[in-house]
Amino acid sequence: MAFMEWRRFTFFDLNKSIDSGKISEALKGSQITTSSSGHNNLVFGDAEGFVHLANRSFDVSTFRAHDGKVNCVHHIQHSSFLVTVGEDEGGNSILRVWDTEKKDKQGSPSSLRSHRLQPGGRGATVTALAVHQNQLVAVGHSDGTILLQRGDVGRERATKQVVLRDSSDSISGLAFRITARAMFLFVATTAGSFLYNITTKDKEFKQNLDSLGCERNCCVATDCIPECNFIIGRTDAVYCYTPEGRGPCYAIEGKKKLLQISRTYLVVVAEDRKPGGGEENSITSLTLTVLDLQNKFLVYTAPVREVQAVLSEWGYFLVLTEGNNLLALAEKDVQSKLSMLFKKNLYDVAIRIAKSQQYDAEGLSDIFRQYGDHLYSKGDHSGAIEQYIKTIDTLEPSYIIRKFLDSQLIEYLTTYLQALHKYGLAGEDHTTLLINCYSKLNRTDKLREFVLTKDRDLDFDVDTAIKVCRQVSSADALTLALKHRRHDWYVKIQLEDKQEYKKVLEYISELPFHDAEANMKKYGPLLLKEAPQETTDFLKKLCSNYKPKGEPLIDPREFDGSRLEENRANPEEFIHLFLENPDMLIQFLEHSIQVDPHESNLVYNTLVEQYLQVWEAGDMEEKRQLGQKVIMLLQNPDANYDRAQTLILCQLHHFSDGLLYLYEDSKMYQHMMRYYASSRDYEGLLACCRKFGGQEPTLWVQALNACSKDSGAPAHVLSEILLVIEKDRLLPPLLVIDALASSSATLGDVRSYLLGVLKGEEEMTKQEQALIEKYSAETRAIRQQINAIETSNVIFRANLCNACNQHLEMPSIHFLCQHSFHQHCFQSCSESDHECPVCLPNNKKIMDIIKSQEQSRSLHESFHSQLERAQDGFSLVADYFGRGLFNNPVTTATSPGVIQKKIIESAKDNIASEARLRLMEGSSGATTQSASVTDRYESWSYSDAQSVPLAVKSVSSARRSPQPIVLSVPKNPFDESPEYDDAKNPFAEDEVAVEAAPKESTPQKASVKSINPFEDEDDDYDKNLNPFGED
């Protein structure tokens, strides 16, 4: 490529005083022979054997490296190692390695290694040096000899040396090139260039590259440009080489004095001869040129004085000129370059620069936009669209679309929209606009190609394309929907544009389960309206184990034992589709419960509701059939219907059979009775009472109330009801009479009932009179026995032990009940030391009765609660009266003897009532809950309360004890209470008079208000409301 064809820019700025003269001052008087840079250091070698190191602040440190001239230096880029080659006093070449970070005592870099070089012939000087990553060192000589060392550069014993000599020309430059598979050594001489393949040790072989050579310092190596690994500068041009051979050539004329490279920038210092009347008179000057080899730009050029070295470090090109002055070429920043190019409208160059600088997508897009705007303003619409297309990822499409909405620019707009769809960034409006552009341009073939071409990438919004195509041709829209499997669009177009309902059902039946389900939910009402039977049949399949039409009935995966998911829709989700077609709904629901008898509650409830709606509006035959279906459904144990809702439905639609079945199944017999009574079905009423009266006896009472309110009730029904009430004693006679008082029943209708009741009462009276006489006799006998014990001496005459029937021997134990025991016999058979073992069972029963009565006295709340619910309140009152509920409460005492006496005395108040209690328990089996009364007394135990007949040890005979035996024990439980009023006993006889024993005087008790609910005092009860009161 001709050098003159390159575009020229000024991308570098020259700084003539970057070091403030420090380098010039430090190197004053020194003749620089070689230079290098690396690891933040500038390295200069002079003819006196000194090496000068300059850091980032341009502070220079100098140390002697050799006795003679320093021929070559090389600072490894990413290491602190510095390699120098110089001469000793005898003119021999010595290679030394220094560590610039480690200092010796004099403050100079420490020497790591020193190696004497011995080339093939004496007198040869070192002309080139190359070092690679501390592992390879190559030294070139003026006689063409190359010394190659392998191993650690800093360790002398680790290196191995080999001599390469295939040329007699002086070596002008060396460079290593390492790839993944091979290692190469580029060699430039004054007469040619070649390379060695040094991959294998001791098997190096040479490969010629070119017959053109170069002078010293006129060759460089780089890894940043793929086609240029080794660059040689000659008078006519700059040549590039790779291991494969010669690369590109750049025609830059002038004798090359020095080359340096950094990244993609190549610095060339060459002589520039200006004509002056002949070759001898021509003026020679030096020109420094910076080339951008990647973008093919000339980015800086300037004349310079004699250049001794060009180094690349810290982002600068550092030029050491005559007088050891240091100049710096600093690259402009990217934004400055782009601004300069934008001013010149060189957008293509700006794009190349931005790409080479790894500009981000957003930054490049802005450049493309500016470039497109520039071309659009010049009228180059085609070029502008090309640039706008490159902004698709970042620039809002509306910015470009507005520019090309003119009818004359639709073709360019179409190109942009096509690219927008290709990138997949088009929206609905963009697709619509593109299709409209095709229509206006009359490119129907393009339109069809855009939407219908097979095997192309999807670069448009299908839904939008279908919508637009539908406006032009529904057939094309159907084809597009079918091709891209847009089932919803296909079904919608077929239904709304074509009215092909059966075809739609056929199409849906071929879809996968979820697609078929979604389409039926959406379009089911329309399909049921236009094709009810076909749609219902398909819904039946969908709610069974659905398989798309055309697929095998048996999935091959089933043979592998895989468990497949059952495709079955939920019938609940389709019930609302049948709002206008109840017959089809019944078919659908019947099929659903056949497929799955355990369907949901909603399915069964809906089916019952539909049955009843059709039943109510149907004729007799339909009612008969549907009624049977409803009853069968209700009787099905697997039916999951809601009983409460079904009951309401049966009431709403007056379906009596279902209503009565639900009443019976739910044990709502009272509701059945009300239904029969309201419909005046007395035979059904009797049948219900006969069937369920045993479980719920109150049904007969309810039947009596129903008959009493209806004057047209048959007489035999009332007779049977009264017979059962009398037999089972379900209602007191007075309440029966009261219930029938307001009815039209005659005395003849209830005559048999009344006779039976009176006869039963008469028998009851006789039984109670017999019990009264029996208990009165027993009471008199017990009172006489108690009186005898209290007033007379007790003589023990027993001579046999009641336990072992042997003659009594001392010590012995005697009880007041005339039972006697040996002491050892008593101890072995007695449960208590104060109880007679023979009388204990009977006494325990009596004490249990007394305790039960005492507990019942505190049950006032229970009494009132039962009284409110009782049908025969008088029987309940009599029962509680017998238990002593209405007696005066027992006063709490601290003495056990007094407590025992109070219990016994309160028990005596209820002796007569106990007879009626036992009679009622035997006849009606009534039971009453009792509460504990233990808390009513302090320090009272059960054994203390029942130990009435105390034992007395016979320590002396009866003859030696003429005085009556006085017992300091509680009295007999059947003793007469001083506070007992016999007048309150309904079973006491008036002629029986019992003398009370003398009692000790006791303090007068405070009056206690009676709690007897039947007491006449202060009674505000209206006697006219008493059914048993006299008129």
pLDDT digits (tens, 9 = 90+) for 972-986: 444 444 444 554 444
- Output the six-digit token pair for 63: 């140390």
Nearest in space to 911 (alpha carbons), one of 767, 781, 1014: 781
Residues 6+ apart with CB under 8 A from 149: 136, 137, 138, 139, 159, 160, 161, 162
Domain boundary among 332, 352, 379: 332
DSSP letter for 405, please: -
3-state secondary structure 957-1000: CCCCCCCCCCCCCCCCCCCCCCCCCHHHCCCCCCCCCCCCCCCC
> pLDDT at position 57, please?
92
Same-domain pairing of 731 and 812: no
Same-domain pairing of 275 and 321: yes
Same-domain pairing of 687 and 796: no
Same-domain pairing of 700 and 589: no
288: exposed, middle or buried (Cβ count in 10 Å: 0-12, 13-18, 19+): buried
Residue 110's DSSP bridge partners are 99
Identify residue 170 by its one-letter amino acid code.
S
Identify residue 986 by its one-letter amino acid code.
P
Classify residue 46: in a domain, yes or no.
Answer: no
Same-domain pairing of 676 and 805: no
Classify residue 489: in a domain, yes or no.
Answer: no
Classify residue 62: in a domain, yes or no.
Answer: no
The DSSP code sequence of 190-231 is: SS-EEEEE-SSTT--EEEEEES----TT-EEEEEEETTEEEE
- Which backbone phi and psi does 820 adopt, to 5 degrees? -130, 150
CA distance 534 to 519: 15
Classify residue 867: in a domain, yes or no.
Answer: yes
Q: Report helix, strand or coil for 911.
A: helix
Q: Report helix, strand or coil for 42.
A: strand
305 CA to centre of own chain: 78
- Count of domains for the chain: 4
Same-domain pairing of 630 and 709: yes
Classify residue 306: in a domain, yes or no.
Answer: yes
CA distance 724 to 685: 14
Say if residues 503 and 491 touch (Cβ distance below 8 Å).
Answer: no
Classify residue 423: in a domain, yes or no.
Answer: no
* Length reported for the chain: 1031
Nearest in space to 50 (alpha carbons), one of 74, 30, 80, 76: 30
- Give the other-Cβ count within 10 Å of 140's Cβ: 28
Spans of the chain, pLDDT less than 50: 1, 277, 281, 889-980, 983-1019, 1021, 1026-1031
CA distance 1027 to 314: 126
- Host H or E run for residue 498: none
> pLDDT at position 415, please?
92
Classify residue 435: in a domain, yes or no.
Answer: no
Same-domain pairing of 887 and 945: yes
Same-domain pairing of 805 and 928: yes
- Which backbone phi and psi does 530 adopt, to 5 degrees? -95, -30
pTM score: 0.51
119: exposed, middle or buried (Cβ count in 10 Å: 0-12, 13-18, 19+): buried
Same-domain pairing of 840 and 791: yes
Residues 6+ apart with CB under 8 A from 848: none
CA distance 98 to 80: 8
Range of the domain at 524: 507-550+568-596
Domain boundary among 945, 969, 984: 984
Domain boundary among 332, 366, 393: 332
- Host H or E run for residue 296: none
> pLDDT at position 711, please?
72
What is the edge-to-edge ordering of all strands in the sheet holding 316-321? 12-15, 326-331, 316-321, 307-313
The DSSP code sequence of 631-679 is: HHHHH-TT----HHHHHHHHHHTT-HHHHHHHHHHTT-HHHHHHHHHHT
Same-domain pairing of 640 and 590: no
- Output the six-digit token pair for 654: 């007056």
Q: Report helix, strand or coil for 154.
A: coil
- Give the other-Cβ count within 10 Å of 986's Cβ: 12
Say if residues 645 and 605 touch (Cβ distance below 8 Å).
Answer: yes
The CATH number that applies at residue 23 is 2.40.10.480
Same-domain pairing of 674 and 802: no
Classify residue 883: in a domain, yes or no.
Answer: yes
Say if residues 141 and 119 touch (Cβ distance below 8 Å).
Answer: yes
- Give the other-Cβ count within 10 Å of 957's Cβ: 9
Same-domain pairing of 802 and 925: yes
> pLDDT at position 217, please?
92
What number of helices (H) and strands (E) belong to the chain? 33, 32
Say if residues 100 and 39 touch (Cβ distance below 8 Å).
Answer: yes
- Give the other-Cβ count within 10 Å of 613's Cβ: 16
145: exposed, middle or buried (Cβ count in 10 Å: 0-12, 13-18, 19+): buried
